[in-house]
């Protein structure tokens, strides 16, 4: 995994003037969806920052703008007003190809419903992004196996998704998110399709990767048990961040099953 990190050293060096402690900086971010019949202000002037190595949860009721915020911060959606910097880079100012490449090389994504190719094995799902980016077949396979080992699934590498449990499938998606050694992992309801015990296992895995590897996570979740395992909870309401809660060390430990 270190090989991938070294490859990006030049890009990181180019942004040395930016506070090395801050990985995401959002200022005055607005996003409106207008269908012609309905106009929805999804984000209303969001200001926030994430520091390297933080694990942050975004919580709030359905429709408050959580997923829109994740999509706008990560460059999946364009913003209407404001600025988002990732490692000092404004994704909005990059050409489409450069923006796509940046996301592929510096970001990892974990979604609720896995988004795995059903006909591919676990290792093939993990290595696919590397192959599409032009990595050599042998190198891609080696990095994919390393990522599966990190999430405890090396022995399931040759199994297709339908042969795996929900928790195992989500571990594969986490391995896929990690394989490019990203600067940040964006997770949208990563435990939303899992039972409580499996959700606890997946949350524990993400927390371990955060602590051991210094990975930065932004997690959109409805699950307070997930939120309590993070460093901070940002609470949203009607397109705004209305509250921030820092978790005490006691709150970060695994929750009581009761």
Query: pTM (2 decimals)?
Result: 0.84
DSSP string, 106-134: HEEEEETT----TTS-HHHHHHHHHHHTT
CATH number of 2-252: 3.40.50.300
Residues belonging to the chain: 258
DSSP string, 32-53: EEE-SS-EEEEEEEEEEEEETT
Residue 144 has what pLDDT?
A: 95
Distance CA 49, CA 71 (A): 15
Q: Are 91 and 75 in contact (CB under 8 A)?
A: yes
DSSP single-letter state for residue 87: T
- Determine the 3-state secondary structure of 215 from DSSP: coil
Distance CA 160, CA 124 (A): 9
Residue 19 has what pLDDT?
A: 56
Residue 134 has what pLDDT?
A: 82
Tokens of 252: 């970060």
Distance of CA 47 to the CA centre of its chain: 19
Tokens of 192: 């939303």
Distance CA 160, CA 140 (A): 18
- Mean pLDDT, each 10-residue run in order, the chain (258 residues): 39 44 95 89 96 96 94 93 93 87 88 86 93 88 94 94 92 91 92 88 92 93 94 96 82 42
Residue 20 has what pLDDT?
A: 67
């Amino acid at each position: 995994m270190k090989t991938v990190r070294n490859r990006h050293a030049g890009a990181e060096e180019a942004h040395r003037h930016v506070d090395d402690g801050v990985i995401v900086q959002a200022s005055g971010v607005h996003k409106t969806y207008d269908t012609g019949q309905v106009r929805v202000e999804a984000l209303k002037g969001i200001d926030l920052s994430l520091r390297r190595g933080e694990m942050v949860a975004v919580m709030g009721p359905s429709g408050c703008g959580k997923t829109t915020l994740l999509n706008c911060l990560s460059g999946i959606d364009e913003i209407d007003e404001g600025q988002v910097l990732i490692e000092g880079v404004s994704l909005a100012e990059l050409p489409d190809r450069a923006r796509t490449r940046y996301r592929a090389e510096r970001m990892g994504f974990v979604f609720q419903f896995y988004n795995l190719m059903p006909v591919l094995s676990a290792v093939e799902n993990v290595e696919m992004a590397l192959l599409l980016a032009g990595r050599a077949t042998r190198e891609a396979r080696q990095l994919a196996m390393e990522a599966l080992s990190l999430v405890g699934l090396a022995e399931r590498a040759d199994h297709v998704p339908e042969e795996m449990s929900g928790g195992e499938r989500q571990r594969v998606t986490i391995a896929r998110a990690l394989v490019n050694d990203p600067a940040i992992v964006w997770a949208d309801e990563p435990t939303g399709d899992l039972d409580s015990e499996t959700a606890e296992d997946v949350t524990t895995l993400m927390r371990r990767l955060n602590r051991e590897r210094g990975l930065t996570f932004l997690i959109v979740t409805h699950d307070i048990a997930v939120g309590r395992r993070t460093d901070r909870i940002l609470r949203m309401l009607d397109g705004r961040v209305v509250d921030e809660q820092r978790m005490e060390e006691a709150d970060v430990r695994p929750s009581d099953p009761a």
